[in-house]
Amino acid sequence: MKIVLIGKNGQLGWEFQHILPALGNVVSLGREDLDVSDQHAVQKTLMELQPDLIINASAYTEVDLAETQMALANKINALSPGVMAEVARKINSIFIHYSTDYVFDGKASQPYTEKDAANPLNEYGKSKLLGEAAIAQAGDAYLILRTSWVYSLRGNSFVNKVLGWSRKNKTMKIVNDQFGSPTWATMLAEITCKVIADHTTDLLNGMRARHGIYHLTGNGCTSRYEWAKRILALDPNLTEQLVQTIEPVSSLEFPTPAVRPLFSALNCEKFTATFGLHPPDWAESLQQALRS
């Protein structure tokens, strides 16, 4: 199987780079190989490579900057994913793409299902929702996996930020009114690969029959405040921490250009029922991430 991975240097893309070779021949593309904001380049590259499977781990993920860079966010998050889905249909390839909990407005009190109406509060969420629609319109054997609060121990994730702050401050303020499901990038890549591996005998028809949107996050829901406390408790280098007090505060204390949904946990039952796979509890994955 020939696989093209787009966005190889992101949190998720990095994990895929290491796991995908077990499934086939992988061509991994970073920004330097393919500028995803250029739809023509996206189309040309994929037509030339003729993969059996396309995984798009690239995205415009600067949530606050997206408020003023709407056109660029739309190209990367909506127009190009639509082109990827269209090429995949033309060449009988499978297309796997990731979307976000930020398509919802956060007014629910129970984890969102795929049937709940989307109503994004910010430009990033709007661009990702447009991407879902573009893929659904152009695509055939596609999976859109909506995920949330993605972290890895590389780069600028919330986990690394909390660990970094804990080494510089005696008091930390963390918002306690945003609720969601932390999702370890390694878990997300692994469970996606399991879906592929479980269907290799007839991947194209298997994915055609199951195409659509699925929610896929770490199991369970927590607040940013409780998540931060758990990160600090599991810190493998506890003696480096200076922090003595973690103060729960309202999001109003940290105004940001983009409004975030206050509750964005996703119900993953459809994914489990369809693929027979259970994402592990978010806290279990966090422990694995910090202790590995």
Ligand X SMILES: NC(=O)c1ccc[n+]([C@@H]2O[C@H](COP(=O)([O-])OP(=O)(O)OC[C@H]3O[C@@H](n4cnc5c(N)ncnc54)[C@H](OP(=O)(O)O)[C@@H]3O)[C@@H](O)[C@H]2O)c1
**Residue closer to ligand X (CB basis): 93 or 264:** 264
124 classed as catalytic:
yes
CB of 246 to ligand X, least distance (A): 21
Nearest-approach distance from CB 13 to ligand X, in angstroms: 5
Binding site for ligand X (CB under 6 A): 7, 9-13, 30-31, 34-37, 57-61, 76, 98, 100-101, 128, 147-150, 185
Q: What is the DSSP string of 262-274?
A: SB--B--HHHHHH
CB of 32 to ligand X, least distance (A): 8
Which strand (E) or helix (H) includes residue 133?
helix 123-138
Q: Return the beta strands (E) in the chain as ranges.
A: 2-6, 25-29, 53-56, 94-100, 142-147, 150-151, 171-175, 179-180, 183-184, 212-215, 222-223, 245-249
In whole angstroms, the minimum distance from the beta carbon of 97 to ligand X comes to 7
- Read off the DSSP letter of residue 104: S
- Cα-to-chain-centroid distance, residue 34: 20
Residue with Cβ nearer ligand X (241 or 259): 259
Q: Which is nearer to ligand X, 38 or 241 (CB)?
A: 38
Cβ atoms of 203 and 168 within 8 Å: the answer is: no
Write down the least CB distance from residue 276 to ligand X, Å.
Answer: 23
Residue holding tokens 């409004």? 259
Per-residue exposure over 86-99, b if at least 16 CB sit within 10 Å of its own CB, e if not: bbbbeeebbbbbbb
Cβ distance to ligand X smaller for residue 9 or 160: 9
β-pair type (222-223, 179-180): antiparallel
* Cβ atoms < 10 Å from Cβ of 236: 9
With respect to ligand X, which residue has the nearer C-beta, 60 or 165?
A: 60
| Residue 22 φ/ψ, nearest 5 degrees | -70, -15
Q: Which of 60, 98, 124, 151 is catalytic?
A: 124
Q: Bridge partners of 78?
A: none
Residues catalogued as catalytic: 124
